[in-house]
Amino acid sequence: MNDASQLRIISRASMDYVVSIYSAILRGSRHDPLDALLLSTVAVANVAHLNSDRVLSQAHAGLDQPEPMEIKRPISRNAVALSLGLSYETARRRIQRLLDEGALVEVDGGLVGANEQASPEMVRALAEQNAILLRRLVRQLRDQGIEI
């Protein structure tokens, strides 16, 4: 996978995936692009630990029920700002607006996304679109002879 002769192929295919999924997120969201990215960052951080715990990940793999709030790990405003390269003040101001709208909730330790409770149909549609796009990415790479 680190063969330098294949890096442009990998880059083109993966950037196509990134643009496609971000476009799907923006089409499914009522938020502007930066707020949608903030929400995505919080949502990913809340459940990132599931990737290293196969049993817990499998227990919450289906779309029929959102992950319970008690397994989500909050992320601080500062961590969100740092991860996106935003000033703390920009992140704080936008996060406050998202809290006021109910798109985020504040718990001990930081922020948790609330989209699954507020809009489960949007979350389901995005998860289905993501699966389609990810399968397309894998197929494109394999068609180019790149081992996954």
Is residue 133 within 8 Å of residue 25, measured between CB atoms?
Answer: no
> Containing domain of residue 90, as a range?
31-130
69-112, pLDDT tens digit by residue?
Answer: 899 999 999 999 999 999 999 999 999 999 999 999 999 999 99
Closest CA to 63 of 140, 123, 9: 123
Residue 119 lies in a domain: yes
- Domain CATH number, residue 88: 1.10.10.10
What is the pLDDT confidence band of residue 115, given thresholds at 50, 70 and 90? confident
| Dihedral angle of Cα 22, 23, 27, 32, to the nearest 10 degrees | 60
Query: Would you state the pLDDT for residue 3?
Result: 72
CA dist., res. 93 & res. 99, Å (int)? 10
Name the CA radius of gyration of the chain, rounded.
17
Mean pLDDT of 49-65: 91
Determine how many CB atoms are found less than 10 A away from the CB of residue 103: 22
- What tokens appear for 66 in the block? 């959102």
CA dist., res. 93 & res. 49, Å (int)? 27
Residue 105 lies in a domain: yes
Query: Would you state the pLDDT for residue 2?
Result: 61
Largest CA distance in the chain: 49
Is residue 13 within 8 Å of residue 137, measured between CB atoms?
Answer: yes
Per the prediction, the chain carries an average pLDDT of 93
Residue 143 lies in a domain: no
What is the pLDDT confidence band of residue 66, given thresholds at 50, 70 and 90? confident
Residue 142 lies in a domain: no
How many domains in the chain?
Answer: 1
121-147, pLDDT tens digit by residue?
Answer: 888 899 999 999 999 999 999 999 998
CA dist., res. 109 & res. 126, Å (int)? 27
